[in-house]
A = this chain, B = another copy of it.
Amino acid sequence: MKRQITIKDIAIKLGLSTSTVSRALKDHPDISPKTRTAVKELAGLLGYRPNRIALNLRNNSTRTIGLIIPEIEHYFFSAIINGIEEIAYKNDYSVMVFQSNESYKREVINTQAVLTNRVDGVLVSFSKETSDFSHFQKLIDNEIPVVFFDRTTEELPADQVVADDYQGAFMAVNHLIEKGCRRIAHFAAPQNLQIGKSRLSGYHDALLKHNIHFRHDLVHLADTYDSAKKTAHDILRRPEAPDGFFAVNDMSAIAIIKAARELGKRVPEDIKVVGFENSKSAAISEPELTTVDQFGFDLGREACLMLLKRLKSTDETDFKPVKKVIKTKLVVRSST
Protein backbone atom coordinates (compact mmCIF):
# COMPACT_ATOMS: atom_id res chain seq x y z
CA MET A 1 0.00 0.00 0.00
CA LYS A 2 1.11 3.55 -0.66
CA ARG A 3 2.77 5.21 2.28
CA GLN A 4 0.44 7.70 3.84
CA ILE A 5 1.42 11.25 4.62
CA THR A 6 2.44 11.46 8.26
CA ILE A 7 3.01 14.22 10.70
CA LYS A 8 6.70 13.53 10.31
CA ASP A 9 6.63 14.31 6.61
CA ILE A 10 5.14 17.69 7.37
CA ALA A 11 7.64 18.27 10.16
CA ILE A 12 10.63 17.55 7.97
CA LYS A 13 9.39 19.63 5.05
CA LEU A 14 8.88 22.57 7.38
CA GLY A 15 11.98 22.02 9.49
CA LEU A 16 9.91 21.54 12.61
CA SER A 17 9.48 18.80 15.17
CA THR A 18 6.58 16.41 15.09
CA SER A 19 5.32 17.77 18.38
CA THR A 20 4.98 21.23 16.94
CA VAL A 21 3.14 19.95 13.92
CA SER A 22 0.84 17.89 16.09
CA ARG A 23 0.00 20.86 18.25
CA ALA A 24 -0.36 23.20 15.33
CA LEU A 25 -2.92 20.92 13.74
CA LYS A 26 -5.07 21.01 16.80
CA ASP A 27 -4.82 24.71 17.49
CA HIS A 28 -2.76 24.45 20.63
CA PRO A 29 -2.28 27.98 22.05
CA ASP A 30 1.45 27.51 22.45
CA ILE A 31 2.00 27.51 18.71
CA SER A 32 2.65 30.77 16.91
CA PRO A 33 0.05 31.79 14.35
CA LYS A 34 2.69 31.80 11.65
CA THR A 35 3.74 28.18 12.04
CA ARG A 36 0.19 27.10 12.66
CA THR A 37 -1.03 28.36 9.31
CA ALA A 38 2.06 27.05 7.58
CA VAL A 39 1.51 23.59 9.01
CA LYS A 40 -2.17 23.54 8.21
CA GLU A 41 -1.57 24.73 4.71
CA LEU A 42 0.96 22.06 3.95
CA ALA A 43 -1.19 19.42 5.61
CA GLY A 44 -4.08 20.36 3.38
CA LEU A 45 -1.85 20.41 0.35
CA LEU A 46 -0.43 16.97 0.99
CA GLY A 47 -3.82 15.57 1.91
CA TYR A 48 -2.69 14.60 5.38
CA ARG A 49 -5.13 12.59 7.44
CA PRO A 50 -4.23 11.41 10.92
CA ASN A 51 -3.46 7.72 11.18
CA ARG A 52 -6.36 6.30 13.09
CA ILE A 53 -4.45 3.16 13.96
CA ALA A 54 -1.76 5.12 15.74
CA LEU A 55 -4.44 7.03 17.60
CA ASN A 56 -6.21 3.82 18.45
CA LEU A 57 -3.05 2.51 20.01
CA ARG A 58 -2.39 5.63 21.97
CA ASN A 59 -5.95 6.14 23.15
CA ASN A 60 -6.67 2.48 23.56
CA SER A 61 -9.92 3.00 21.75
CA THR A 62 -11.03 2.28 18.22
CA ARG A 63 -14.28 4.24 17.89
CA THR A 64 -15.72 1.00 16.66
CA ILE A 65 -18.80 -0.90 17.79
CA GLY A 66 -19.08 -4.65 17.44
CA LEU A 67 -22.42 -6.05 16.38
CA ILE A 68 -23.22 -9.72 16.92
CA ILE A 69 -26.44 -10.69 15.26
CA PRO A 70 -28.10 -13.95 14.18
CA GLU A 71 -28.96 -13.36 10.54
CA ILE A 72 -28.78 -10.18 8.53
CA GLU A 73 -31.21 -11.51 5.98
CA HIS A 74 -34.17 -11.21 8.34
CA TYR A 75 -35.97 -7.97 7.75
CA PHE A 76 -36.22 -7.28 11.44
CA PHE A 77 -32.49 -7.55 11.98
CA SER A 78 -31.59 -5.52 8.94
CA ALA A 79 -33.95 -2.82 10.17
CA ILE A 80 -32.14 -2.90 13.49
CA ILE A 81 -28.74 -2.62 11.81
CA ASN A 82 -30.10 0.34 9.94
CA GLY A 83 -30.99 2.06 13.21
CA ILE A 84 -27.66 1.18 14.76
CA GLU A 85 -25.67 2.42 11.82
CA GLU A 86 -27.62 5.64 11.80
CA ILE A 87 -26.68 6.48 15.38
CA ALA A 88 -23.14 5.22 15.03
CA TYR A 89 -22.66 7.35 11.93
CA LYS A 90 -23.92 10.47 13.64
CA ASN A 91 -21.51 9.93 16.50
CA ASP A 92 -18.54 9.12 14.31
CA TYR A 93 -18.39 5.46 15.26
CA SER A 94 -18.00 2.59 12.84
CA VAL A 95 -19.82 -0.71 13.04
CA MET A 96 -18.25 -4.14 12.63
CA VAL A 97 -20.80 -6.81 11.86
CA PHE A 98 -20.52 -10.43 12.92
CA GLN A 99 -23.19 -12.97 12.12
CA SER A 100 -23.75 -15.96 14.32
CA ASN A 101 -26.03 -17.65 11.78
CA GLU A 102 -28.02 -18.90 14.78
CA SER A 103 -25.04 -21.00 15.81
CA TYR A 104 -23.83 -20.97 19.40
CA LYS A 105 -20.38 -22.09 18.37
CA ARG A 106 -19.97 -19.35 15.84
CA GLU A 107 -21.29 -16.83 18.32
CA VAL A 108 -18.56 -17.76 20.77
CA ILE A 109 -16.00 -17.18 18.03
CA ASN A 110 -17.67 -13.87 17.30
CA THR A 111 -17.16 -12.73 20.86
CA GLN A 112 -13.49 -13.57 20.53
CA ALA A 113 -13.37 -11.61 17.30
CA VAL A 114 -14.79 -8.48 18.90
CA LEU A 115 -12.23 -8.84 21.66
CA THR A 116 -9.42 -9.25 19.16
CA ASN A 117 -10.60 -6.25 17.22
CA ARG A 118 -10.63 -4.22 20.42
CA VAL A 119 -14.01 -2.68 19.74
CA ASP A 120 -15.13 -0.08 22.28
CA GLY A 121 -18.47 -1.72 22.91
CA VAL A 122 -20.68 -4.54 21.70
CA LEU A 123 -24.31 -4.88 20.69
CA VAL A 124 -25.68 -8.39 20.87
CA SER A 125 -28.76 -10.32 19.90
CA PHE A 126 -27.88 -13.91 20.58
CA SER A 127 -28.63 -17.07 18.66
CA LYS A 128 -31.52 -19.45 19.20
CA GLU A 129 -29.06 -22.07 20.36
CA THR A 130 -27.55 -19.94 23.07
CA SER A 131 -28.40 -20.83 26.64
CA ASP A 132 -24.97 -20.44 28.19
CA PHE A 133 -23.77 -16.87 28.42
CA SER A 134 -20.23 -17.17 29.68
CA HIS A 135 -18.79 -15.91 26.42
CA PHE A 136 -20.63 -12.66 26.95
CA GLN A 137 -19.58 -12.61 30.57
CA LYS A 138 -16.02 -12.65 29.29
CA LEU A 139 -16.69 -9.42 27.42
CA ILE A 140 -18.06 -7.86 30.55
CA ASP A 141 -15.05 -9.12 32.52
CA ASN A 142 -12.89 -7.27 30.04
CA GLU A 143 -14.95 -4.22 30.88
CA ILE A 144 -16.29 -3.89 27.39
CA PRO A 145 -19.79 -2.45 27.62
CA VAL A 146 -22.40 -4.82 26.20
CA VAL A 147 -25.98 -3.96 25.30
CA PHE A 148 -28.36 -6.78 24.46
CA PHE A 149 -31.28 -6.16 22.15
CA ASP A 150 -34.31 -8.25 21.20
CA ARG A 151 -32.80 -11.56 22.25
CA THR A 152 -31.76 -10.74 25.77
CA THR A 153 -31.19 -12.33 29.14
CA GLU A 154 -31.53 -11.29 32.73
CA GLU A 155 -28.67 -13.54 33.72
CA LEU A 156 -25.99 -11.00 32.93
CA PRO A 157 -25.37 -7.54 34.36
CA ALA A 158 -25.88 -5.73 31.06
CA ASP A 159 -28.19 -3.18 29.50
CA GLN A 160 -31.09 -4.39 27.41
CA VAL A 161 -33.40 -3.00 24.77
CA VAL A 162 -36.44 -5.06 23.93
CA ALA A 163 -39.75 -4.66 22.22
CA ASP A 164 -42.75 -4.92 24.44
CA ASP A 165 -43.32 -8.51 23.45
CA TYR A 166 -45.84 -9.26 26.11
CA GLN A 167 -48.00 -6.29 25.29
CA GLY A 168 -47.74 -6.93 21.57
CA ALA A 169 -48.74 -10.54 21.95
CA PHE A 170 -51.57 -9.58 24.25
CA MET A 171 -52.90 -7.02 21.78
CA ALA A 172 -52.62 -9.47 18.91
CA VAL A 173 -54.51 -12.26 20.63
CA ASN A 174 -57.02 -9.87 22.14
CA HIS A 175 -57.67 -8.61 18.63
CA LEU A 176 -58.24 -12.14 17.35
CA ILE A 177 -60.72 -12.83 20.13
CA GLU A 178 -62.58 -9.63 19.49
CA LYS A 179 -62.80 -10.64 15.86
CA GLY A 180 -64.57 -13.76 16.98
CA CYS A 181 -61.82 -16.36 17.22
CA ARG A 182 -62.15 -18.91 20.00
CA ARG A 183 -59.67 -21.64 19.17
CA ILE A 184 -56.50 -19.68 18.75
CA ALA A 185 -53.23 -21.43 18.05
CA HIS A 186 -49.86 -19.95 18.88
CA PHE A 187 -46.77 -20.63 16.80
CA ALA A 188 -44.04 -19.92 19.30
CA ALA A 189 -40.32 -19.26 19.39
CA PRO A 190 -37.99 -21.46 21.47
CA GLN A 191 -38.65 -20.94 25.14
CA ASN A 192 -35.01 -20.36 26.01
CA LEU A 193 -35.47 -16.99 24.36
CA GLN A 194 -37.12 -14.35 26.49
CA ILE A 195 -39.11 -13.18 23.47
CA GLY A 196 -40.51 -16.71 23.18
CA LYS A 197 -41.62 -16.66 26.78
CA SER A 198 -43.04 -13.15 26.74
CA ARG A 199 -45.09 -13.64 23.63
CA LEU A 200 -46.44 -16.93 24.88
CA SER A 201 -47.34 -15.27 28.13
CA GLY A 202 -49.09 -12.39 26.35
CA TYR A 203 -51.03 -14.99 24.38
CA HIS A 204 -51.91 -16.80 27.57
CA ASP A 205 -53.11 -13.75 29.42
CA ALA A 206 -55.22 -12.47 26.57
CA LEU A 207 -57.05 -15.79 26.54
CA LEU A 208 -57.41 -15.59 30.27
CA LYS A 209 -58.92 -12.15 30.11
CA HIS A 210 -61.69 -13.49 27.88
CA ASN A 211 -62.11 -16.67 29.91
CA ILE A 212 -60.81 -18.86 27.13
CA HIS A 213 -59.15 -22.01 28.33
CA PHE A 214 -55.42 -22.22 27.59
CA ARG A 215 -54.63 -25.45 25.80
CA HIS A 216 -51.14 -26.77 25.43
CA ASP A 217 -52.00 -28.61 22.25
CA LEU A 218 -52.61 -25.26 20.55
CA VAL A 219 -49.07 -24.07 21.16
CA HIS A 220 -46.44 -25.21 18.70
CA LEU A 221 -42.78 -24.46 18.28
CA ALA A 222 -42.69 -23.04 14.76
CA ASP A 223 -40.75 -19.89 14.10
CA THR A 224 -39.59 -20.35 10.53
CA TYR A 225 -41.47 -20.35 7.24
CA ASP A 226 -40.92 -24.02 6.59
CA SER A 227 -41.67 -25.34 10.05
CA ALA A 228 -44.76 -23.14 10.30
CA LYS A 229 -46.07 -24.28 6.96
CA LYS A 230 -45.66 -27.90 7.89
CA THR A 231 -47.23 -27.47 11.29
CA ALA A 232 -50.11 -25.43 9.91
CA HIS A 233 -50.83 -28.11 7.35
CA ASP A 234 -51.03 -30.70 10.11
CA ILE A 235 -53.22 -28.69 12.42
CA LEU A 236 -55.61 -27.38 9.84
CA ARG A 237 -56.53 -30.88 8.80
CA ARG A 238 -57.61 -31.82 12.30
CA PRO A 239 -61.33 -32.06 13.04
CA GLU A 240 -61.29 -29.17 15.49
CA ALA A 241 -58.93 -26.90 13.59
CA PRO A 242 -58.12 -23.49 15.06
CA ASP A 243 -60.00 -20.47 13.81
CA GLY A 244 -57.19 -18.07 14.69
CA PHE A 245 -53.43 -18.04 14.66
CA PHE A 246 -50.93 -15.89 16.45
CA ALA A 247 -47.45 -16.42 15.02
CA VAL A 248 -44.25 -15.31 16.65
CA ASN A 249 -43.06 -13.66 13.45
CA ASP A 250 -44.35 -12.61 10.06
CA MET A 251 -42.74 -15.39 8.08
CA SER A 252 -44.50 -18.02 10.16
CA ALA A 253 -47.77 -16.13 9.84
CA ILE A 254 -47.44 -15.96 6.08
CA ALA A 255 -46.67 -19.67 5.99
CA ILE A 256 -49.91 -20.27 7.85
CA ILE A 257 -51.84 -18.26 5.29
CA LYS A 258 -50.18 -20.20 2.49
CA ALA A 259 -51.03 -23.51 4.11
CA ALA A 260 -54.62 -22.42 4.66
CA ARG A 261 -55.02 -21.46 1.01
CA GLU A 262 -53.56 -24.74 -0.10
CA LEU A 263 -56.19 -26.50 1.98
CA GLY A 264 -58.96 -24.38 0.54
CA LYS A 265 -59.52 -22.33 3.67
CA ARG A 266 -60.18 -18.65 3.30
CA VAL A 267 -58.37 -15.93 5.21
CA PRO A 268 -59.82 -14.09 7.06
CA GLU A 269 -63.23 -15.70 6.65
CA ASP A 270 -62.37 -19.20 7.85
CA ILE A 271 -59.29 -18.49 9.85
CA LYS A 272 -57.63 -15.29 10.97
CA VAL A 273 -53.90 -14.79 11.28
CA VAL A 274 -51.74 -12.29 13.13
CA GLY A 275 -47.96 -12.03 12.81
CA PHE A 276 -45.27 -10.21 14.70
CA GLU A 277 -42.63 -7.89 13.21
CA ASN A 278 -44.34 -5.78 10.57
CA SER A 279 -41.91 -6.69 7.85
CA LYS A 280 -42.09 -5.64 4.24
CA SER A 281 -43.51 -9.06 3.50
CA ALA A 282 -46.45 -8.49 5.82
CA ALA A 283 -47.52 -5.53 3.76
CA ILE A 284 -47.35 -7.37 0.47
CA SER A 285 -48.77 -10.73 1.47
CA GLU A 286 -52.22 -11.69 0.24
CA PRO A 287 -54.30 -10.98 2.16
CA GLU A 288 -52.19 -8.33 3.78
CA LEU A 289 -51.07 -9.46 7.18
CA THR A 290 -52.25 -8.05 10.48
CA THR A 291 -49.13 -7.89 12.60
CA VAL A 292 -47.43 -6.31 15.58
CA ASP A 293 -44.94 -3.64 14.67
CA GLN A 294 -41.69 -4.15 16.55
CA PHE A 295 -40.10 -0.91 15.35
CA GLY A 296 -36.78 -2.55 14.60
CA PHE A 297 -35.23 0.69 13.42
CA ASP A 298 -36.02 2.43 16.70
CA LEU A 299 -34.89 -0.57 18.66
CA GLY A 300 -31.53 -0.43 16.89
CA ARG A 301 -31.27 3.28 17.52
CA GLU A 302 -32.03 2.92 21.21
CA ALA A 303 -29.60 0.06 21.66
CA CYS A 304 -26.83 2.05 20.04
CA LEU A 305 -27.64 5.19 22.02
CA MET A 306 -27.56 3.19 25.21
CA LEU A 307 -24.17 1.77 24.33
CA LEU A 308 -22.78 5.18 23.46
CA LYS A 309 -23.95 6.49 26.80
CA ARG A 310 -22.00 3.74 28.52
CA LEU A 311 -18.95 4.54 26.44
CA LYS A 312 -19.10 8.14 27.52
CA SER A 313 -19.54 7.58 31.23
CA THR A 314 -16.19 6.54 32.60
CA ASP A 315 -17.28 5.92 36.18
CA GLU A 316 -17.68 2.20 36.25
CA THR A 317 -18.59 2.16 39.89
CA ASP A 318 -22.02 0.99 40.98
CA PHE A 319 -23.09 -0.29 37.57
CA LYS A 320 -26.84 -0.61 37.33
CA PRO A 321 -28.13 -2.35 34.22
CA VAL A 322 -30.87 -0.48 32.42
CA LYS A 323 -33.70 -2.14 30.54
CA LYS A 324 -35.50 -0.19 27.90
CA VAL A 325 -38.78 -1.38 26.47
CA ILE A 326 -39.93 -0.19 23.07
CA LYS A 327 -43.69 -0.05 22.77
CA THR A 328 -45.20 -2.24 20.09
CA LYS A 329 -48.20 -1.46 17.97
CA LEU A 330 -50.88 -3.60 16.41
CA VAL A 331 -51.18 -3.00 12.67
CA VAL A 332 -54.56 -4.27 11.55
CA ARG A 333 -54.79 -5.44 7.95
CA SER A 334 -56.99 -7.80 6.02
CA SER A 335 -55.82 -11.12 7.44
CA THR A 336 -58.13 -10.64 10.44
* Interface residue ranges, A against B (CB under 8 Å): 1-2, 4, 49, 51-54, 56-57, 60-62, 64, 71-73, 75, 78-79, 81-82, 85, 89, 94-99, 113, 115-118, 141-144, 225, 251, 254, 258, 261, 280-281, 284-286
Contacts and interface: CB of A to CB of B under 8 A. Distances in A.
Contacts of A81: 72, 97
Contacts of A4: 142
Given A52-B117, A53-B53, 19 more contacts: A1-B61, A1-B144, A2-B143, A49-B115, A52-B116, A52-B118, A53-B118, A72-B78, A72-B81, A72-B85, A73-B75, A94-B98, A94-B113, A94-B117, A95-B96, A95-B97, A254-B284, A258-B284, A284-B285
A280 B225 CA distance: 10
A79 B73 contact: yes
Contacts of A56: 53, 56-57
The 10 A-B residue pairs whose C-beta atoms are closest, nearest first, are: A286-B286, A2-B143, A53-B56, A72-B78, A53-B57, A73-B78, A78-B78, A1-B143, A254-B284, A94-B96
Contact of A82 (B64, B99, B117): B99
A57 B57 contact: yes
A96 B119 CA distance: 12
Nearest to A60: B1
Contact of A85 (B79, B94, B97, B261): B97
A188 to B, nearest CB: 21
Nearest to A3: B60
Given A117-B94, A285-B286, A53 B62 contact: yes
A253 B157 CA distance: 47
Contacts of A280: 73, 251, 281
A56 B4 CA distance: 14
A97 B97 contact: yes
A297 B258 CA distance: 26
Most buried by B among A75, A79, A280: A280
A142 to B, nearest CB: 6
A51 B75 CA distance: 35
B118 A51 contact: yes
Contacts of A75: 73, 75
B96 A64 contact: yes
Contact of A284 (B64, B144, B281): B281
7 contacts: A52-B117, A53-B60, A57-B57, A85-B97, A95-B97, A225-B284, A254-B284
A118 B51 CA distance: 8
